[in-house]
Amino acid sequence: MATTEETREVRAEAKWVRSSPRKARLVVEHIRGRTVPEARTVLAFSERAVAREVEKVLRSAVANAEANHGLVGDDLVVSAAYVDEGPTIKRWRPRARGRVARIRKRTCHITVKLRTVAERPRSEPAAPAEEKPKRAKRAPATKKEAAA
């Protein structure tokens, strides 16, 4: 009997978040690969404003897992968390001598994917791989190589 793993993946996405993708990526890097309770703790103690938005997406993903798939929220792991660039709102600011400066109000889309892996019991450990035979030394082709 071989090992079989059942993996479920649940996701949640927040679109058009009014924060730059670069700022959001700094926060998302801290929760990737962590369990849900760890990720919540990291986001709770983060001083960045976008951490609140990421925390909302994480809560939404956990709620999706519990309501739609009957999973336990604390058993889930953040398998993927990434931030995509959204549309940029363009505004203008008047400057000296009739000029203007462009103001770019960036937005982003935050996605969090959670997964759970339920391992079934293994019957026996896998057999170790056989060792490769060692290479034989080659005989010297010339007298000079034999002398050296």
CATH of the domain at 41: 3.90.470.10
List all residues 6 or more positions away from 82 whose beta carbon is below 8 Å from its beta carbon. Answer: 25, 28, 111
- 10 near 64, Cβ under 8 Å? yes
Residues in the chain: 148
* Mean pLDDT (whole number) for 34-50: 97
- Is residue 75 included in any domain, yes or no? yes
CA distance 107 to 93: 19
- Is residue 141 included in any domain, yes or no? no
**What pLDDT digit, counting tens, does each position of 105-137 carry?**
999 999 999 998 654 445 556 666 677 667 777
**Strand, coil or helix: 94:** strand
User: Is the full-model pTM beyond 0.95?
Assistant: no
- Is residue 4 included in any domain, yes or no? no
- Is residue 36 included in any domain, yes or no? yes
- Is residue 127 included in any domain, yes or no? no
CA distance 88 to 76: 34
Structural domain count, the chain? 1
Ramachandran bin of 107, using left for φ above 0, alpha for ψ from -120 to 50, beta for the remaining angles: beta
Residue 67: give the domain boundaries: 11-120
- Is residue 68 included in any domain, yes or no? yes
Using the predicted structure, report yes or no on whether residue 67 has a pLDDT greater than 60: yes
